[in-house]
Amino acid sequence: NAGVTQTPKFRILKIGQSMTLQCTQDMNHNYMYWYRQDPGMGLKLIYYSVGAGITDKGEVPNGYNVSRSTTEDFPLRLELAAPSQTSVYFCASSYPFTRTSGSTDTQYFGPGTRLTVL
C-alpha cells in the first residue's frame, strides 16, 4: 500500500512553459485535493475532487486546471507557468466524512513536488 504518490519530485520550468503534476492514491479514497505550500504561509487549497468526474475550485485556482477521470488519479495542470507558481505542491486524499460511518476528515498527503519557475 503506497498511499499517495506524486511525480515528479522536483521540476524547474521556464516562464510560459506548461506541465502536469501527477498524483495517484491506492487507498480507494473518494476525495482528493491539491495544495500549494509557500514558506511561512501554510497550505492553500488549489482544487479538490469528491469523486471521478467531479472537481471544484479551492481558494487559489487561477493558473491551474485539474481533471479526475478515475478514482486513483488526480493530475494538476499548469498552463503558462509564472514565477508566482514557484512553490511546493502537495496532493492529498481522504474518505468522505460522515458522523455515522466512523471515518474522519483525515487527509493523507503525498511527499510533494518542488516546482521552480524561472
- Residues engaged in binding another protein (CB under 8 A): 4, 31, 40-43, 45, 48, 50, 90, 92, 94, 96-99, 104-112, 114
- What is the rounded CA–CA span in Å between residue 68 and residue 40? 30
Closest to another protein by CB, 14 vs 42, is: 42
Closest to another protein by CB, 92 vs 115, is: 92
Closest to another protein by CB, 27 vs 45, is: 45
- What is the rounded CA–CA span in Å between residue 111 and residue 88? 10
Residue 21: CB minimum distance to another protein, A: 13
Please, what's the b/e burial string for 33-43 (b: 16 or more CB within 10 A of its CB; e: otherwise)?
Answer: bbbbeeeeeee
C-beta separation of 91 from 74 below 8 A: yes
Residue that the C-alpha cell 488549489 belongs to: 46
Residue 91: CB minimum distance to another protein, A: 9
Residue 100: CB minimum distance to another protein, A: 11
